[in-house]
């Protein structure tokens, strides 16, 4: 009973997230995405994220050595190192400032990853575009 209550409390803590105004492409302007309390554990997420993904405004490539490359639809490029801890996807941007950008992974299923940027409540839906390695 306690476990069910804890799961319910977690679900209610992250009830509904809305897509931000940054949406482009074929995704609707607003989509409700509930928090998935059954997300894979961090170790599984780290293995499953390896590969190439496409979201609403960029193509992301995650490599086994924890490096990444993001190519935005505008042509801008960003690279650095990634990490997943407590279902938070962290990007350490290779720049003079060593920026750290954090996204909360709210859902992850085989070829789809949903993550949010808590500062502005943007929700990103990335589809796998390369086979798993």
| Structure tokens, 55 | 């979201």
Query: Which region holds residue 51: left if phi is over 0, alpha if psi is between -120 and 50, else beta?
Result: left
pLDDT digits (tens, 9 = 90+) for 47-97: 999 999 999 999 999 999 999 999 999 999 999 999 999 999 999 999 887
Query: Three-state SS for 10?
Result: helix
| Structure tokens, 112 | 């789809």
Query: Which region holds residue 94: left if phi is over 0, alpha if psi is between -120 and 50, else beta?
Result: beta
Residue 116: phi and psi, rounded to 5, are -125, 150
Reported confidence tier of residue 98, pLDDT bands at 50, 70, 90: confident
119 versus 33: the higher-pLDDT residue is 119
The Cα–Cα gap between 125 and 132 comes to 18
**Global pTM?**
0.71
> Which helix (H) or strand (E) is 8 found in, with range?
helix 2-13
């Amino acid at each position: 009973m306690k476990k069910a209550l804890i799961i319910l409390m977690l679900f209610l803590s992250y009830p509904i997230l809305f897509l931000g105004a940054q949406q482009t492409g074929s995704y609707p302007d607003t989509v409700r995405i509930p928090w998935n309390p059954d997300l894979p554990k961090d170790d599984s997420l780290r293995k499953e994220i390896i590969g190439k993904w496409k979201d609403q405004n960029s193509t992301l490539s995650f490599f086994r050595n924890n490096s990444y490359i993001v190519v935005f639809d505008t042509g801008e490029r960003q690279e650095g190192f990634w990490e997943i801890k407590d279902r938070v996807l962290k990007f350490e941007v290779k720049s003079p400032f060593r920026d750290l950008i954090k996204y909360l992974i709210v859902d992850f299923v085989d070829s789809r990853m949903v993550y949010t940027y808590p500062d502005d409540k943007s929700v990103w839906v990335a589809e796998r575009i390369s086979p798993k390695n």
